[in-house]
Chain A
């Protein structure tokens, strides 16, 4: 049985799709058979971030409506054999998804995969609720700003009430906090919320902290998940995040402001 992990946030633009792609890639690199599903029907992006937009034929909505088989819609990743992508439809809207349909798709995928990563749309409406409904674990992506923290708090409330585990009274969903776009320099200056404040308000376990990095934008535009960029700070931070998801203890990095040394200034900085 696969572990179903939803990547969600409430707020848009905080890095859900980037994180879903990076975490899925990281899990696959660690030998886990992984599929990542785009639930953002109508605003599909995951295929671009994963670099498979030219190979999309069928999508999640086609499968749910019986127009295509599961294996026809699954796209195998170019770089890693045990990573698959299930794209969303760009021409439909979120009403095309049904609870029963999503249940069946996840049920079938569960037999073949170790991890199912659900990339949630922004908001708290139907699309987001369907993406989280069947989850075993949730990665709540949060930026160090008050509006993002409040929206994450709202999502955590929904995770504890509007999901199958909550409705059945099973063990609650395991909630993980993933802080993205963290800039220790700007935190020091008071432009951004600091790590401790975010942890205190949301009071859930921190699974990772991704520094604000040029590598992230570059990776999305090139369609190569940033986890592949092992020399970048963001790539390493996502690799740490994946290790923690797999139950390993990894010390936190990239959360403190470090003045650039003379050498790194001369050579243009090593952490890019």
Chain B
């Protein structure tokens, strides 16, 4: 899927893009408090802190005057690169701009995707067992879900914080979503969305591909876009260069 754009003589083109971004939800405005917690995290998973761009989300803070400059300094000292601020009153917006940061309006309050919530519509909690990843990269990656049985039309099984394993079929009209990867040990006939929070390393694995839709970190393919020769086979889906690549497993 490439667009043919005449590029001769142009210094640049503007393109809309959806990049995965780490959002730092601030629950405290105290730079010292933030420093302590960052130091702890840095020792746990140093790989995560590699000049990682972050958006500082201050919409849950109730402070009109934020020591934004000091908070940014603390982040940079721990190899996090603040690139923008989200939410906060007008003075916060002004100081973000003064510091050369972008500002985003607050997220709508009704957005359902909180990292903390696990939603399983029309499926009983007993079917869900916690699953621990063997080498968690960051805290958020631990804690997946196993679902045993058939995911039926109209049902939605979610594992927002980690991988989702379905031991059974995902039928047409059903939807399985995971913050991490999606593994289906059976026919995948419904929709599978992996990396729903933007994790581009996530993948989709299934024993029999019949999926209506495959998506990794917002990049998707519909059934119509899938090579018919792959239908009915065991496959894995990965994101490579912003394209979904579907390859046989066997």
Q: Chain B residues near A200 (CB, 8 Å)?
A: 187
Q: Chain B residues near A44 (CB, 8 Å)?
A: none
B122 at the interface (CB under 8 A from A): yes
> Quick check: A157 and B152 within 8 Å, CB to CB?
yes
- Residues of chain B at interface, number, CB under 8 A: 16
- In the complex, chain B residues 139-155 whose Cβ is within 8 Å of any chain A Cβ: 150, 152-155
> Quick check: A154 and B152 within 8 Å, CB to CB?
yes
B 160-181 to A, binary, CB cutoff 8 A, 1 in contact else 0: 0000000011011100000000
Q: Chain B residues near A169 (CB, 8 Å)?
A: 124, 126
> Quick check: A158 and B122 within 8 Å, CB to CB?
yes
The CA-CA distance from A160 to B122 in the complex, in Å, is 8
Name the residue of chain A whose CB is nearest to the CB of B186: A203
> Quick check: A157 and B153 within 8 Å, CB to CB?
yes
B 191-231 to A, binary, CB cutoff 8 A, 1 in contact else 0: 00000000000000000000000000000000000000000
**B124, B154, B172: which has the most chain A beta carbons within 10 Å?**
B154
B42 at the interface (CB under 8 A from A): no
- Sorted from nearest, which 9 A-B pairs have the closest CB atoms? A157-B152, A153-B153, A161-B122, A154-B153, A154-B154, A153-B152, A157-B155, A153-B171, A150-B153
Which B residues contact A (CB, under 8 angstroms)?
A: 122-124, 126, 150, 152-155, 168-169, 171-173, 187, 189
* 28 residue pairs from A and B, CB less than 8 Å apart: A150-B153, A150-B171, A150-B173, A151-B153, A153-B152, A153-B153, A153-B154, A153-B171, A153-B173, A154-B152, A154-B153, A154-B173, A156-B152, A157-B122, A157-B123, A157-B152, A157-B155, A158-B154, A160-B122, A160-B124, A160-B152, A161-B122, A161-B123, A161-B124, A166-B124, A201-B169, A201-B171, A203-B150
Which A residues contact B (CB, under 8 angstroms)?
A: 150-151, 153-154, 156-158, 160-162, 166, 169, 200-201, 203
